[in-house]
Amino acid sequence: MDTDVLIVGAGAAGLYLATRLRRTGRHVTLLERRSEPTHATRAIGIHPPGQHLLAGIGCLEAVAGGAEIIRAGRAFSGARLLGRLPLPPILSVPQSHTEAVLRAAAGGIRTGVTYLGHRERPGGVEVETDAGALSARILIGADGWNSAVRQHAHIAWTGGAYPFSFSMADTPDDTGFGPDAVLFLSRHGMVECFPLPAGRRRWVVLHRPDREPGRQAFLDDISERCGRVPPLGDLPVSSYRTYGFSAEAYARGPVRLVGDAAHVTSPIGGQGMTLGWLNADRLMRLWDSPEQWNRQAKALAATVIRRAEWNMRLGGPTRWPGWRNRVVRVLLAPPFATPLARRFAMVDLPAG
């Protein structure tokens, strides 16, 4: 065998798993088709369970050093405050920074190498790449939601798109909200804004169905729902749909799926990256029990996907905004505030 474990994809999940595996003495080959890291706008939230896992591989201090710490969330209807929710500390940090720290911890990565397919063989797999063939005992697909590993393993992918369109942009922060995350609720849908390091703030807009997502709709929706316009200037605005997917199996023969290759959840709530690490951690502890890991990992992903769906529905368009505001005020007050905060921060999830 050329390697014990071959990981395809050097994103957050693949890097974390490579670091854990190499610390156990296993020979790991990590492939990444991109020659350079991406700096695209992606995940920013690292919840307490994710922080615990980063601490376990010695990366928490470096990640937190480039982060803003969210300790509370506020909900508004227009200019009216519906409530404030104290939260366990959540790190808000660009994924590019997190992955840079993980790359340093993970060690060697073979970049610019594209996975082409694999076939099972006695004791493992033979993997074809555009740089030649490699053999491994275990093949890990950590190559995103369009995972080629999952497709070549003929593992079904179930789920679909939600009926929502979003846009987001990172702008200078002139809000005065400090380190709080903020949610604006309106008849036409929500606007979220989160603090980022270096005096910036991420704005996320759920668009009205009668508006084409884009730069002008982004500004118009924020103005109408929040009574302010962020200092966008020439900064880019990205638009996207939201999805909920899960693989039929996360373990099949010598193949394992982690991160977005295994499960995709709506980014509302920002729990996807932490979920990927939690299931990678479970894989490490159940390495010799793939069927048990598969059951646990799928159950955890299903829980997080349902929660993200609930978050979207709560913030979606409604014909009864007054009733929703009453519900939100109740949820943000005792006795519901504490369990809601634990749920949002993912600290109530079952231990692996």
Any idea what the CATH number is for the domain that residue 309 is in?
A: 3.50.50.60
In a domain, 325, yes or no: yes
The token pair at 46 is 């690292």
- Give the model's pLDDT for residue 125: 97
In a domain, 171, yes or no: no
Q: Is 214 left (phi over 0), alpha (psi -120 to 50) or beta?
A: left
The token pair at 216 is 């002008």
pTM: 0.95
In a domain, 255, yes or no: yes
SS3 124: strand
**How many other C-beta atoms can be found within 10 angstroms of the C-beta atom of residue 305?**
22
Nearest to 250 by CA among 307, 304, 301, 309: 301
If one counts the domains in the chain, the total is 1
Task: List the pLDDT tens digit at each of the 352 positions of the chain.
Answer: 799 999 999 999 999 999 999 999 999 999 999 988 776 667 899 999 999 999 999 999 999 999 999 999 999 999 999 999 999 999 999 999 999 999 999 999 999 999 999 999 999 999 999 999 999 999 999 999 999 999 999 999 999 999 888 999 999 999 999 999 999 999 999 999 999 999 999 999 998 878 888 899 999 999 999 999 999 999 999 998 899 999 999 999 999 999 999 999 998 888 999 999 999 999 999 999 999 999 999 999 999 999 999 999 899 999 999 999 999 999 999 999 999 999 999 999 976 5
In a domain, 219, yes or no: no
Domain range for 315 is: 3-160+242-344
- Give the model's pLDDT for residue 89: 97
In a domain, 177, yes or no: no
In a domain, 76, yes or no: yes
- Give the model's pLDDT for residue 43: 86
The token pair at 259 is 């991160």
Query: Which residue has tokens 């697909």?
Result: 141
CA angle at 347 for the pair 341 and 352, rounded to the nearest 5°: 155
Which residue type does 277 have?
W
- Cβ-in-10-Å burial (0-12, 13-18, 19+) of 13 comes to buried
- Cβ-in-10-Å burial (0-12, 13-18, 19+) of 187 comes to middle
In a domain, 203, yes or no: no
